[in-house]
Amino acid sequence: MIMLSVGEMLRKRREETGITLKQIEKEIRVREKFLRFIEENDWRYFASKVYIIGIIKTYSNALGLDPAKMLAYFRRDYEKHEDLRFKKRVNDSSFNLETKKIIMGVVAGIILIFSAYFTYQVKLYLTPPSITILKPDQTTLRNMEKVQIMGKTEKEANIVIFGDKVFVDSEGVFTYDFPLKKGQNTFIIEVTGANGKKSILKKQFLLE
């Protein structure tokens, strides 16, 4: 008569009842891979004998088996392999390949995020503020004494137009009434960013 191991008995009972390891995992809250190690009598992946006993006891109850009897079978099997060293996960050398990959991925992600943030901050510090004229969208104008110019820049920027300080709203948008004369009119705006860098924009408007 072939004597079954505790893992084989657990697997046999589970298969007879038609229950999957995934279902057992959800019921007793033990990861599927550890249940599989139990069924395969592979104790290398557990931190201690106490942990194995706890899983076998819970697993046996879930399958309607006598925990005391299952633990007796386990001790019988275990005593034959007392010299097995349980796998410890207390230092880097004992981490499995999957864990190492995860840690390396996390570290690489942190470095990438930090590098991107640092690059962005350096760019902000070195780059002069941008200026965009939103209106008018035409440079040739007719029959008007002045034109309202609407533009956008940084919210913290200081704007000077022909010696006048112009303020921006919460979105960085500003307006300025630019007087016109016949012919070419040069609009000049100076913008100083929070980093002290200055941008100057010149735009020509033709009044016919």
With beta carbons less than 8 A apart as the criterion, state whether 10 and 36 touch: no
Strands 173-179 and 183-192: unpaired
Instruction: Please give the class, per CATH, of domain 6-79.
Output: mainly alpha
Q: Which residues contact 40 (CB under 8 A, 6 or more apart)?
A: 7
For residue 85, the model assigns a pLDDT of 52
Determine the pLDDT at residue 170: 86
CB 46 within 8 A of CB 78: no
Is residue 10 within 8 Å of 67, Cβ to Cβ?
no
pLDDT along the chain (208 residues), means of 10: 81 92 92 92 85 92 92 82 52 62 87 83 76 88 90 88 88 90 92 86 89
Give the architecture (CATH level 2) of 132-207.
Sandwich (2.60)
- Count other Cβ atoms within 10 Å, centred on residue 129: 20
